[in-house]
Structure 1
């Protein structure tokens, strides 16, 4: 585990920053309230920094663990083999900011709407991986194998369907905004990736 992270210093730094920021937030309510995404403070007080800082806070150890495990499994491969350090950082931070901004725009009339978590950034990284490796297996709940492209399409479709649901406790808005941003940044960095993706899909279909 540590050998993988040592070979991927950006992923290691991102995980360390998330853990450190979240641990402070767990024990310091004033710090948490000053940095989480709260639509009222963003819309009325123009505290847009919250879109960024909220992406390093988490609501519970379980929430933190889930996001960091996903980043651990996909981050090093993106950083080292697929995107390179600069591309990886672009996907991560553009997805993080886009996820938070999407949540604000979707809920700008709900001034009490709040959110935290690296889900937008992690969603962008995950969708970026799906673009490069459409038929690699992603294990849902660590058990159920699903081709990456199927997971990606289902993830974006469900996030779009559930986005804006006031009864949901899951930040689908951040998931959707982050996933779309991750896709677009990946295409901008690697313009030929869509042709490659389509070719791989057509090749599979023609062989069936």
Structure 2
């Protein structure tokens, strides 16, 4: 087995995530450690470390004496997370418009261009990582450490929903709501318009939730 320079724990972590993206693992499927060890040649210790990491992020759930299973997020889970995230990000984006620097705006533009490239390549792993950076730059620009902390936690949890239910892999770039809405957010920040910033963040989170609900039906 070729690890490509990765630690065994990281290899297993991304191995399972990729199976979820490829719809080879579904919500409720059991993760069998013995099978993972046989498929990858990796020992049980790094496998268990990877499973613990995936459980912390919400991709897996673990039960004593039963093992680990792919999580089964419900519509209520998504609704609750996005309602909270929507309000936090709206206020954080409004605050950011007063404090964001030119360097931070340029960073957002750079991230936005990277998002376009990874979307064209349909690289879900890379898109989620870059998407998280985009939102955290704005949270940081709010100059409120609590916005940063809780938005980061909610972003990690919402990534779980995107991995399970988003149609990223089959959505053409021109049909991507995320790309269009991120551009609107950047423009509102550049204009230093607090109400436009607030509205753009609200609409972005709501449209993401609406699409996830549609895809889950």
TM-score normalized by the length of structure 1: 0.32
TM-score normalized with structure 2 length: 0.31
Greater C-alpha Rg: 2
